[in-house]
Amino acid sequence: MKYRCLVLDHDDTVVNSTATIHYPAFVDYMKVVRPQIHMTLDEYFALNFDPGVVALFRDICGLSEEEMRQEELSWQEYVRTRIPKAYDGIREILIRFRREGGLICVDSHSYSHYIRRDYAHNDLPEPDLVFGWDLEPEKRKPAPFTIFEIEKRFDLKSGELLVVDDLKPGHDMARAAGVAIAGVGWANNVPQIESFMKSNCDFYFKEVSQLRDFLF
């Protein structure tokens, strides 16, 4: 195998969650607190990419700190009661990667218990390690902390890891840690996201089958 360990993002990399869960949750909450704000799915994707979700809520939508806390509670309830579907072909990739001796780690801005739930529901191999939003803020992606932890835990060299991510924080984390990154674009067709990831990642895949062919 080219790599001993995959460091996978979760939302919109392994599971189709923004279109089916996060964006509808956002729309429902905005109807209550900012009914004048209307945003398409592509606009939501683009603003999550840059300037990011916190700036989107605080600076663009103008939510107060209390409204942001309420938004998170509303979002958590939405996520708790809805399970995203893994993209076609992901399960086969992960099963084969594990069967051939590879390690599967997850680094995501989702909560780790939801990540493990989604893996189990989609019959994916249980990850060897999961890092989620429940980490201390300074340790979350794009900080390189989780990469260094994976290397230490499994005695890996930087060249043995491949980050697989659809957004800039994954890129920034990989660069800070000195590991390779494969940008993936099967969740959306937003030009600015595709342009950045294609230009700045070591590899870029628009289809799940392309990642499969690259790995094996």
pLDDT band at 135 (very low <50, low <70, confident <90, very high): very high
User: CB of 33 within 8 A of CB of 67?
Assistant: yes
Q: How far apart (Å, rounded) are the C-alpha atoms in residues 214 and 108?
A: 23
What pLDDT is stored for residue 50 in this prediction? 86
What pTM was estimated for this model as a whole?
0.93
Instruction: Report the percentage of the chain scoring pLDDT > 90.
Output: 95
Return the ∠ at Cα 66 (arms to 65 and 71), rounded to 5°.
Answer: 95
Strand ranges, E, within 28-127 = 85-86, 103-107
Average pLDDT over residues 46-73: 92
| φ, ψ at 85 (rounded to 5°) | -95, 140
Q: Region 50-78: what's the mean pLDDT? A: 92
Residue 97: which region, alpha, beta or left (left: phi > 0; alpha: psi -120 to 50)?
A: alpha
What's phi and psi for 124, nearest 5 deg? Answer: -95, 155
Cis, peptide link before residue 144, omega less than 30° from 0 = no
Half-sphere exposure of 92 (CA within 13 A, CB side): 10
- Give the sheet arrangement for strand 203-205, strand by strand: 129-131, 103-107, 5-8, 161-165, 180-184, 203-205
Residue 186: closest CA among 201, 170, 166: 166
Q: Report the C-alpha gap between 92 and 90 in whole angstroms.
A: 5
Q: Give the per-residue pLDDT at 149.
A: 98
Q: pLDDT at position 33, please?
A: 96
